[in-house]
């Protein structure tokens, strides 16, 4: 007979706690394969197709389109294929599960699918150990800790929970987020005062339009508020003559080959500056009272989309040339427009480049992308009167600004970084010294 398995909304990465059902990709009664996408959801960061780790027949769906579900809530139930005798008295379940923990937005790069033997209870045999009040598979004495999700590890670490004391309820004893949360709920707690009753939702008064701060807008609001609350930021700025940089880009793009974007050239300048002033490529561990400096540059860049502001991240930008940077900026920008950026492409940045000049403005004092330590802002490049080689001339002028966490460095370092960036903008040949 078939076994009905429940698939819950998985961890979607980087603290995302809920998602809205946009479109169901399967109906009740449909046959689904292992790791087949079954629903499209919208998180605070991206549109995501969620694959189900079970193969079988869909017996139920939970939530209509437009419903917001928390992580861990049931999504669907699947009747797994029939069992067949295996000669030795044991039975094996056909197409039961991929054995993957869904962290991020899918189970791509899954290991080879396995057929797992399901043992029948033996009379007189000792039951498996129950941990956290749950029955589970016995914990191996040796070998790696059976945890895949970094979110599970972080949740346990933040709450002082030893994962080796838990038995996972996932495939092959894998410790899931639900196991950690169950253990935390079961742990003794100090008596707490009664929580106040939730405030009822406000109704709009005449002339008012109220928009809930949820989804992407809510996530952005929370992150910006945290940045302004925790980071003592300061901003310095300088005007620079970008005429030679624009000429260099024109020359590069008339020589044939892939086109080089202005953003890529600015990114190349930015990574060269960070190599000279690595203090700005860091973060502050407030709990340990330490500045954590990185030996790599994962460069975020601000991109405005129909769904709001997103900050995709170019991994290892310091190791890319202008052509590679141009291609990656174009790919991530298009993914941002279509809402297909993954959580991994939106997180992990160490420094942000913000080209707000595309909005037709000269300057800004942006809020740092927490938990980073700095952001370089670039205004519009416009013809302006400028003293060039002792003569008044019309040149292509840009305002550059640097907003930085004053805990990681003082004004001398920030000013040196910004001055080096300006020198490279004015004389692109300066970059040759760092190649």
> Which CATH number do you get for residue 390?
3.30.559.10
Cα angle vertex 372, ends 222, 17, to 5°? Answer: 35
DSSP-derived secondary structure for 115-162: PPEEPPP-TTPPPPPEETTEE-PPPPSSSS-S---HHHHHHHHHTT--
For residue 28, the domain's CATH number is: 2.40.50.100
Pairing of strands 351-354, 299-301: parallel
What is the rounded CA–CA span in Å between residue 400 and residue 421? 8
| Per-residue buried b or exposed e for 295-306, using 16+ beta carbons within 10 Å of the residue's own CB | eebbbbbbbeee
Q: Is the residue at 236 inside a domain?
A: yes
Closest CA relative to residue 284, chosen from 157, 155, 375, 407: 407
- Neighbouring-strand partners of residue 49: 40
- Taking Cα atoms as reference points, which of 2, 4, 55 lies closest to residue 30? 55
Residues 259 and 377 in one domain: yes
Rounded distance, CA 283 to CA 293, Å?
Answer: 7
d(CA 435, CA 431) in angstroms, rounded, equals: 7
Helix (H) or strand (E) holding 21: strand 18-24
Angle in degrees, 0-180, between the axes of helices 262-276 and 243-253, rounded to the nearest 10: 120
How far, rounded to the nearest angstrom, does the alpha carbon of residue 361 sit from its chain's CA centroid?
Answer: 28
3-class secondary-structure state, position 229: helix
Angle (nearest 5°) at CA 319 between 313 and 322: 80
Same domain, 148 and 30: no
Considering the domain architecture, whether residues 99 and 134 belong to the same structural domain is answered as no
| Residue 369 and residue 302 share a domain | yes
The counts of H helices and E strands in the chain are 7, 24
377 touches 366 (CB < 8 A): yes
406: left (phi over 0), alpha (psi -120 to 50) or beta: alpha
| Sign of the dihedral through C-alpha 411, 417, 420, 424 | negative
- Cβ count near 5 (within 10 Å): 19
Chosen domain end from 187, 208, 235: 187
- The position carrying tokens 């190791």 is 319
Tell me: do 76 and 166 sit in the same domain: no
User: Is residue 323 domain-resident?
Assistant: yes
> Which two tokens mark 255?
């020589």
Give the SS3 label for residue 20. strand
173 within domain boundaries: yes
Positions marked catalytic: 406
Q: Are residues 174 and 271 in the same domain?
A: no
- For residue 163, what are the domain limits? 129-187
Q: What does the chain come to in residues?
A: 435
55: in domain: yes
Same domain, 96 and 140: no
Q: Look at residues 86, 103, 120 and tell me which one is the last residue of a structural domain.
A: 103
DSSP, collapsed to helix, strand or coil, labels residue 388 as: strand
Name the residue among 425, 431, 404 with its Cα closest to residue 280: 404
- My answer on whether 312 and 371 are in the same domain is yes
139 and 98 part of one domain: no
Average pLDDT per 10 consecutive residues for the chain, totaling 435 residues = 85 70 90 89 75 90 88 90 44 45 40 36 41 41 54 74 79 74 69 50 82 77 90 96 96 89 96 97 94 96 81 96 95 88 87 93 92 96 96 97 97 97 94 64
- The answer as to whether 200 is a domain residue is no
The domain boundary, picked from 87, 103, 119, lies at 103
Any bridge partners for residue 235, and if so which? 403
Distance between CA atoms of residues 89 and 129, nearest Å: 24
Answer whether residue 201 is part of any domain: no
CA distances from 233 to 229, 372, 411 (A): 10, 11, 11
Report how far residue 309's alpha carbon sits from residue 375's, in angstroms, rounded to the nearest whole number. 15
Same domain, 138 and 60: no
Is residue 382 in a domain? yes
Domain harbouring 133, CATH code: 4.10.320.10
pTM of this prediction? Answer: 0.62
Query: Is the same domain home to 153 and 89?
Result: no
For the chain, what is the domain count? 3
Q: Does 124 map to a domain?
A: no
Statement to judge: residues 235 and 372 lie in one domain? yes
């Amino acid at each position: 007979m078939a076994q009905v398995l429940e698939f819950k909304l998985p961890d979607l990465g980087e603290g995302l706690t809920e998602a809205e059902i946009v479109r169901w990709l399967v109906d009740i009664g449909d046959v689904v394969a292992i790791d087949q996408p079954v629903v499209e959801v919208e998180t605070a960061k991206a549109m995501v197709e969620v694959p189900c780790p079970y193969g079988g027949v869909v017996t139920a769906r939970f939530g209509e389109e437009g419903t917001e579900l928390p992580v861990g809530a049931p999504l669907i139930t699947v009747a797994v294929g029939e069992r067949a005798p295996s000669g030795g008295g044991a039975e094996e379940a056909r197409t039961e599960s991929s054995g993957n923990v869904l962290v991020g937005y899918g189970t791509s790069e899954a290991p080879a699918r396995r057929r797992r033997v399901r043992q029948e209870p033996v009379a007189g045999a000792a039951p498996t150990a129950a941990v956290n009040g749950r029955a589970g598979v016995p914990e191996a004495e040796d070998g790696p800790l059976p945890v895949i999700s970094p979110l599970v590890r972080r949740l346990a670490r933040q709450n002082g929970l030893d994962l080796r004391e838990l038995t996972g309820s996932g495939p092959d004893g894998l410790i899931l987020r639900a196991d950690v949360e169950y253990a935390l709920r079961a742990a003794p707690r100090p008596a707490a005062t009664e929580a106040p009753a939730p405030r009822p939702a406000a109704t709009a008064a005449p002339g008012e339009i109220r928009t809930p701060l949820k989804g992407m807008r809510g996530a952005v609001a929370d992150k910006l508020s945290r940045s302004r609350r925790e980071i003592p930021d300061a901003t310095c700025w300088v005007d620079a003559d970008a005429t030679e940089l624009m000429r260099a880009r024109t020359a590069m793009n008339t020589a044939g080959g892939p086109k080089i974007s202005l953003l890529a050239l600015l990114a190349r300048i930015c990574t060269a500056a960070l190599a000279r002033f690595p203090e700005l490529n860091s973060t502050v561990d407030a709990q340990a009272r330490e500045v954590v400096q990185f030996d790599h540059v994962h460069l975020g860049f601000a991109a405005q989309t129909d769904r709001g502001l997103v900050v995709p991240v170019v991994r290892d930008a310091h190791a890319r040339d202008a052509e590679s940077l141009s291609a990656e900026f174009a790919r991530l920008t298009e993914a941002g427009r279509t809402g297909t950026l993954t959580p991994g492409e939106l997180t992990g940045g160490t420094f942000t480049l913000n080209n707000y000049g595309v909005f037709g403005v000269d300057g800004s004092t942006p809020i740092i992308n927490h938990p980073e330590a700095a952001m370089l802002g670039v205004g519009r490049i416009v013809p302006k009167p400028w003293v060039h080689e002792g003569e008044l001339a019309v040149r292509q002028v840009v305002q550059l600004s640097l907003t930085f966490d004053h805990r990681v460095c003082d004004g001398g370092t920030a000013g040196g970084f910004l001055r080096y960036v300006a020198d490279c903008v004015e004389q692109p040949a300066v970059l040759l010294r760092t190649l």
